[in-house]
């Protein structure tokens, strides 16, 4: 039976959440967490012989050292294939899945596979070199992703021809291949044109990438008379989180009054961000939203004035489409309130 090594992070490894994100790489025998469902979906054609688990922070902070340790753990199992994830839209986890898959493919010359949300940075970086099953944003879609991963894994292990992305469920890798059709190119092109003119659905054979280019705004001509706003994706909100902003994959943002404040008191503001250790931010929220520093330069006359509200959301795994929507709405609110510029902070 074919041997598979599986990689998951500390959360799916059933060790802990952010408090365990510094976990060093370890290896457990057999499937763990989502590996159990994946193992069952492989239908006895292959089995997960061991699972490598590593904390998201540890892998992100230790780079080459972490990767070297994990590669050694994988290699000693003499696997026929390596699978990571699914990582959904978790940024650090997705980058780890992609990085390790790419390294295993290069060093061990065996098939590799993972599953990520298309906007995950790991998918963007490694989709051309690694088969990445398209996953939804959250683990709520686990039951739909696992069968697709198992199906493609079995094909990769058997050497069977891999179909097109829409057939297998993986993210397009940007390759063009020739294939025979009954209609020639001219006939297919005319058919698509007619459907387009009629407003009927059709599928292009040459999808073009969409590049979201934003021209930088011109520099402020008069900083000393400008109204400046603060915007953060670092999750700093009033105590109680009145807008119920999620700690990850945020579906909303908040606007909070700072007109009577010279700094953000720790007993009145907190962090709801789930992507970093919030201890220092909760101890001093100004570390993320620098109200104290802005008041100083305001009093010194460096800027005209600080806008009396700040904008906040959580950037942790938040979809680009949602972030773009928030930006458009915040920009309109700034224009309405005669704000000329903003300082954006993260965590």
187 within domain boundaries: no
> pLDDT value at position 177?
72
> Do both 252 and 330 map to the same domain?
yes
CATH number for the domain including 63? 3.40.50.2300
> Do both 114 and 241 map to the same domain?
no
> Do both 164 and 250 map to the same domain?
no
197 within domain boundaries: no
pLDDT tens per residue across span 97-114: 999 999 999 999 999 999
The better pLDDT of the pair 175, 79 is held by: 79
> pLDDT value at position 306?
98
Q: Compute the distance between CA of residue 257 and CA of residue 312 in angstroms, rounded to an integer.
A: 11
The better pLDDT of the pair 249, 141 is held by: 141
> pLDDT value at position 211?
66
326 has a pLDDT exceeding 90: yes
Summary mean pLDDT of the chain: 93
121 within domain boundaries: yes
> Do both 229 and 117 map to the same domain?
no
290 within domain boundaries: yes
> Do both 10 and 152 map to the same domain?
yes
249 within domain boundaries: yes
Neighbours of 298 (CB within 10 A): 16
Q: Compute the distance between CA of residue 2 and CA of residue 85 in angstroms, rounded to an integer.
A: 19
277 pLDDT band, cuts 50/70/90, is: confident
If we measure between CA atoms, which residue out of 2, 93, 77 comes closest to residue 115? 93
Mean pLDDT of 315-329: 85
> Do both 7 and 153 map to the same domain?
yes
271 has a pLDDT exceeding 90: yes
DSSP state of 20: G
> Do both 256 and 148 map to the same domain?
no
Mean pLDDT of 230-252: 93
pLDDT tens per residue across span 29-49: 999 999 999 999 999 899 999
176 within domain boundaries: no
209 pLDDT band, cuts 50/70/90, is: low
H-run or E-run covering 57? helix 56-75
Expressed as residue numbers, the domain containing 164 is 2-168
338 has a pLDDT exceeding 70: yes
271 within domain boundaries: yes
> Do both 111 and 245 map to the same domain?
no
Q: How many domains does the chain have?
A: 2
> Do both 237 and 139 map to the same domain?
no
pLDDT tens per residue across span 125-176: 899 999 999 999 889 999 999 999 999 999 999 999 998 898 999 999 877 7
């Amino acid at each position: 039976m074919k041997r598979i090594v599986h990689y998951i992070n500390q959360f799916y490894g059933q060790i802990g959440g952010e408090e365990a994100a510094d976990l060093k790489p370890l290896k457990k025998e057999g499937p763990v967490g989502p590996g159990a469902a994946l193992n069952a979906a492989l239908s006895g054609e292959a089995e997960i012989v061991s699972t490598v688990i590593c904390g998201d922070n540890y892998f992100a902070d230790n780079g080459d050292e972490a990767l070297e340790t994990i590669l050694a753990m994988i290699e000693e199992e003499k696997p026929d294939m390596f699978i990571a994830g699914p990582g959904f839209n978790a940024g650090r986890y997705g980058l780890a899945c992609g990085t390790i898959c790419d390294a295993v493919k290069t060093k061990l010359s065996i098939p590799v596979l993972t599953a990520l949300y298309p906007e995950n940075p790991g998918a963007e970086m490694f989709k051309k070199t690694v088969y990445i099953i398209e996953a939804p944003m959250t683990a709520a879609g686990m039951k739909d992703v696992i069968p697709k991963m198992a199906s493609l894994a079995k094909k990769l292990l058997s050497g069977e021809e891999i179909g097109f992305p829409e057939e297998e469920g993986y993210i397009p890798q940007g390759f063009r291949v020739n294939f025979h059709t009954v209609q020639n190119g001219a006939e297919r092109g005319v058919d698509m044109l007619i459907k387009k003119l009629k407003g009927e659905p059709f599928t292009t054979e040459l999808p073009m990438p969409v590049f979201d280019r934003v021209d930088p705004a011109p520099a402020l001509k008069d900083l000393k008379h400008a109204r400046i706003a603060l915007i953060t994706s670092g999750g700093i909100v009033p105590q109680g989180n009145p807008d119920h902003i999620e700690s990850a994959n945020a579906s909303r943002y908040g606007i909070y009054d700072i007109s009577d404040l010279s700094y953000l008191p720790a007993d009145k503001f907190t962090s709801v961000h789930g992507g970093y250790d919030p201890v220092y931010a909760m101890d001093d929220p100004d570390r993320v939203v620098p109200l104290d520093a802005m008041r100083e330069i305001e009093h010194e006359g460096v800027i005209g004035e600080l806008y009396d509200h700040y904008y906040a959301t959580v950037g942790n795994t938040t979809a680009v489409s949602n972030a773009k929507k928030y930006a458009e709405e915040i920009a309109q609110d700034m224009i309405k309130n005669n704000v000329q510029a903003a300082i954006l902070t993260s965590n």
